[in-house]
Amino acid sequence: MKVFCEVLEQLYKKVLLGVTLENDSHDYIFYLNPGVSDQDCSTATSLEWANTYGIQGRHQPISVGVAPIAVAPACLKTNSLMSSSGEVMLLQLTVIKVMTTRILSVKTEFHAKEKYRDIIKILLESAKVDSKLICMFQNSDKLLCHMAAQCLALLLYFQLREKITLSNSWIAFCQKNLSEYSESNKAIYCLWTLTAIIKEIFKDSCSQKTEILKQFLTHFDTIFEVFYNSLFSQHFENCQDTSKIVNILICFLELLEFLIASRIYLKLHFTCQRILFLKPSCMLEVITWPIQAFVKRKVIIFLKKCLLFKVGEDLCRGSVPPLMPPDHHVAMDMLALASAVLQAVNSGLLKTLSVYGKHSFFGGDEVQPGCEHIASPDHVILRAASLVIMKSLEIKFQNCSSASEMKVDLQRFMSELLTFLKPHLQPSLQLHNPCKWLSRVFIEQDDDMLEAAKASLGIYLTLTRGCEATESLTQGKEMWDHHTHENGYNPHCIFLFFLKNIGFDSTVLLDFLISSETCFLEYFVRYLKLLQKDWDNFFTICNNFDATESKYDISICDCVPSLVQDQSTNRTTPHHLTAPHSHIDVCAQHSWASDAPSEPLKAMMSKGTDTMCTSSLSSPRASQSLVDYDSSDDSEVESTDQCLANSKQTSLHQQATMEIQDAAGTSRDKEEFSLEPPSRPLFLKEFDTAFSFDCEVAPNDVVSEVGIFYTIVKCFQELQDAICRLQKKNLFPYNPTALLKLLKYIEVISNKTMNTL
């Protein structure tokens, strides 16, 4: 026994280092073939295994030597502790797992890989190790069960890679345990192993991913649909052990996410990959179950990721394949899911969704004695539910041709959403512009905020084109503006509140532009194209913001009365500025903002996609920043010249960060951050250039003293200057020419506007 464990430990060390094994492959089978009984490992048992698998006479311990290792792996136990067969089997499975990983790795030396491959093939063919691993799922030792599942998943993927016939015992095991819902642990390990195999396919760098996945799913396409119907037909309140169905549901959600991701990324169209879209109501019904809140949260987040084409991003630890444009079949499936979501909302889904409950923290969800439990809404659910509804509306409107139908649907569902959100937002939305709901709900999650803003903009553009086609937009312009504000989707208000949240800080905008973590580039380009056409409306809304702040003597960062009050109410009309029309001749030659990304945008996104950096910019100007940008503080003390001199050792992001701060803050001095900014006239009357500003004050003071319109214009100019400086030094991660063209055009319109004042 002692010699057996010593040899096994030495074998583990060799495989861990990727050392080529010298002995015959069958010699190692003696030590790697796990036993299925719970009896202690003994010489007699080992001899029995040796005789069984035709390796009689080779049972003596192999003389193995290995270079001294300074620190022994933590998983290795001393011989005195490794006394049970369970401990021995754990080490055996660990060696098999590491050996299989070495085979799949491109870094393993060729001769070592060939020896490992030969050993694994013998284990699968002669020792039937896959059947033994399946039997371990019944073991009471959870650690052993989990290790067996991990090991089995790698071995099955090895069979797929080597084009070996997939284990018949494994296929039979899945068909038996997934043919109907069962509360046994076998179904959980079955689902987990299937998920792990698909995850390995995603992680692998080989070029035959699609063929491998196709070979794998062929065996399970029908059984997945059967299990889907069986699982979601259960009555949760009648289940004897609710923890079982919760565990199975969580495992199945993870598997389903990978199946959908594989369809989008690898362009396969099996029924099991489409089952959610074919029967979406089954998944939506889970939200109405009397089940734990975290399960409902997972379901809603899962639906959100499906609608945003972000499935699989969080689960794939390796590099995710590039997302291909959705084909017609995927688009139709997304439409089916969006329609099902809206139908469920229309049936009262939001009324059954409780956002209060125990919050999960690192220490659990139980409140310790003596600690006060403060009831607060789960903002994760609020954000996810809001984004699911917004994205569903956008997808449905993209496939709808009736403007009147879209307006009715938009009013109904936005009313449902705002009614759902109202009790959870303090102060109430009744005291605010309804368009502010988006910035308040998503303030803690910038990527979701920008997705919601982009969806809202898409809804606005689609509905506008539909109304223009029927000539209803020009006939009732005032009513149209009232409709956009009342239902909280006016794109200009949403963009203004977004700028307010980031303190009109151009460095934060630049951070979003060079980051690949949000959709800000696409959203910003589409909004700038809209701004060219809808400048008068934007200008009027800016005046309304200023008038509201002046009337109520408050900052619109904190409270903005609704812009959709009854026309008979006494309102202060902005008197200092009037919407000019001198820019119309400039805009006449430009078409309406497109709902789809433009060719220049595609060009910008295509260049440098792989090297697009994720930056973290900090600025004292952001009064209510979306993200705590504190990682660039260390780089502020370095000079630009020094950074450029060490460009080979410094990342693109670090260089860009310093240039951004330099471009945005060259003209600032210490007075900018003073608590007592210098007095300025209420509005500037003359400008040397279109974007010339002499005042240097904090953002909120800028808004209150010169108006929000001028503040936005200055922010755009700072952004344009920063992009130009980065482009000249070849530090911008993609070609910003098209974006600069849009910003330059906004500069021309702004210049004409201010010249008329």
Q: How many residues does the chain have?
A: 757
Asked if 626 contacts 498 with a C-beta cutoff of 8 angstroms, the reply is no
Least confident interval from 313-317, 380-384, 688-692, 713-717 = 688-692
pLDDT(183) > 70: yes
CA 657 to chain centre: 24
Q: How far apart are CA 96 and CA 12, in angstroms?
A: 9
Contacts of residue 705, defined as CB under 8 A and 6 or more positions apart, other chains included, come to 680, 681, 682, 695, 697
Q: Which of the two residues, 314 and 216, has the higher pLDDT score? A: 216
Q: How far apart are CA 151 and CA 145, in angstroms?
A: 10
Mean pLDDT of 645-657: 42
Confidence of residue 3 (pLDDT cuts 50, 70, 90): confident
Residue 380 structure tokens: 């994760």
Contacts of residue 466, defined as CB under 8 A and 6 or more positions apart, other chains included, come to 400, 401, 402, 403, 406
DSSP 364-394: BSPPPTT--------HHHHHHHHHHHHHHHH
Asked if 55 contacts 29 with a C-beta cutoff of 8 angstroms, the reply is yes
Letter for the amino acid at 90? L
Q: Which of the two residues, 719 and 142, has the higher pLDDT score? A: 719
Average pLDDT over all residues of the chain: 75
> What is the percent of the chain with per-residue pLDDT over 70, rounded to a whole number?
66
Q: Which of the two residues, 330 and 638, has the higher pLDDT score? A: 330
Contacts of residue 495, defined as CB under 8 A and 6 or more positions apart, other chains included, come to 453, 527
Mean pLDDT of 315-339: 75
Asked if 225 contacts 271 with a C-beta cutoff of 8 angstroms, the reply is yes
Q: Which of the two residues, 174 and 622, has the higher pLDDT score? A: 174
Mean pLDDT of 563-572: 36
User: Quick one: angle between helices 446-469 and 520-533, nearest 10?
Assistant: 30
DSSP 620-631: TT-TT-SS---T
Q: How far apart are CA 543 and CA 687, in angstroms?
A: 19
Domain-wise residue ranges, the chain: 1-34+83-164, 166-315+325-351, 376-478, 503-553+707-756
Confidence of residue 192 (pLDDT cuts 50, 70, 90): very high
- CA distances 353 to 288, 413, 605, Å, are 7, 16, 38
pLDDT(23) > 70: yes
Q: Which of the two residues, 662 and 41, has the higher pLDDT score? A: 662
Strands (E), 523-609: none
Least confident interval from 278-292, 305-319, 351-365, 388-402 = 351-365
Of the candidates 136, 162, 104, the one whose C-alpha atom is nearest the C-alpha of residue 35 is 136
Q: Cα dihedral sign for 391, 396, 401, 406?
A: negative
Confidence of residue 607 (pLDDT cuts 50, 70, 90): very low
Of the candidates 293, 330, 285, the one whose C-alpha atom is nearest the C-alpha of residue 311 is 330
Asked if 489 contacts 456 with a C-beta cutoff of 8 angstroms, the reply is yes
Confidence of residue 2 (pLDDT cuts 50, 70, 90): confident
Q: How far apart are CA 105 and CA 32, in angstroms?
A: 21
Is omega for the bond preceding 699 within 30 degrees of 0, making it cis? no
DSSP 493-544: HHHHHHHHHTTT-HHHHHHHHT-SSSSHHHHHHHHHHHHHHSHHHHHHHHHH
Count how many Cα atoms sit within 13 Å of the Cα of residue 620 in the half-sphere of its side chain. Answer: 12
Count Cβ atoms below 10 Å from residue 191 Cβ, excluding itself: 26
pLDDT(32) > 70: yes
Q: How far apart are CA 462 and CA 262, in angstroms?
A: 30
pLDDT(662) > 70: no
- What are φ and ψ of residue 42, in 5° steps? -140, 170
Residue 591 structure tokens: 């078409």
pLDDT for 76: 43
Q: How far apart are CA 415 and CA 434, in angstroms?
A: 10
Q: How far apart are CA 154 and CA 215, in angstroms?
A: 16
Residue 729 structure tokens: 């030094």
For 520-538, write each residue's pLDDT tens digit: 999 999 999 999 999 999 9
pLDDT(322) > 50: yes
